[in-house]
Amino acid sequence: MNKREIKSILIDYNSLAELEKEQQELIKKAKEAAINAYAPYSQFEVGAAVLLENGEIIQGNNQENAAYPSGLCAERVAIFYANSKYPNVAIKSIAVTANTKDGIIKDPIPPCGSCLQVMLESEKRLDKDIQVILYGENKITVAKNINQFLPINFNKEMLK
């Protein structure tokens, strides 16, 4: 028997002022996107903003549907749009936040497994890490890449 230990490194910040201006702007865009989410069933409005290597920022928000699970998460909406509009431009970072009926979330929420898998594919596709910024009123969590959330992952090499 062999035992493996897997570690992830996530950095927590207490305020926006601790972040770089580029990260602050991306969070602002994610907050804007959350306001426009279509979430009549869950009342959980998620916003995402993707910063591309060319400087473009693409926003996305969750889109629910009465025929669950036909909706789509904010992260995938933003990433799929970015990849379709700029197929050969790497994603530099993504910021994610959410609103509830009580306002913006207090603590950051991680992306779901499906979104993480899509982010991982985007990293592998253009061989570029994607920084993840998760915003909550109480703290901001930053990871340098998707492996911090998905250290054992399914990838194209496994299909050979």
Strands 140-143 and 131-135: antiparallel
Query: Checking phi first, is residue 88 left (phi over 0); if not, alpha (psi -120 to 50) or beta?
Result: alpha
Strands 11-13 and 45-52: unpaired
What is the C-alpha to C-alpha distance for residues 53 and 13, in angstroms, rounded to an integer?
24
Which entry of 75, 121, 123, 137 is annotated as an active-site residue? 75
In the residue annotation, 123 being an active-site residue is answered as no
Among all residues, which ones are annotated catalytic? 75
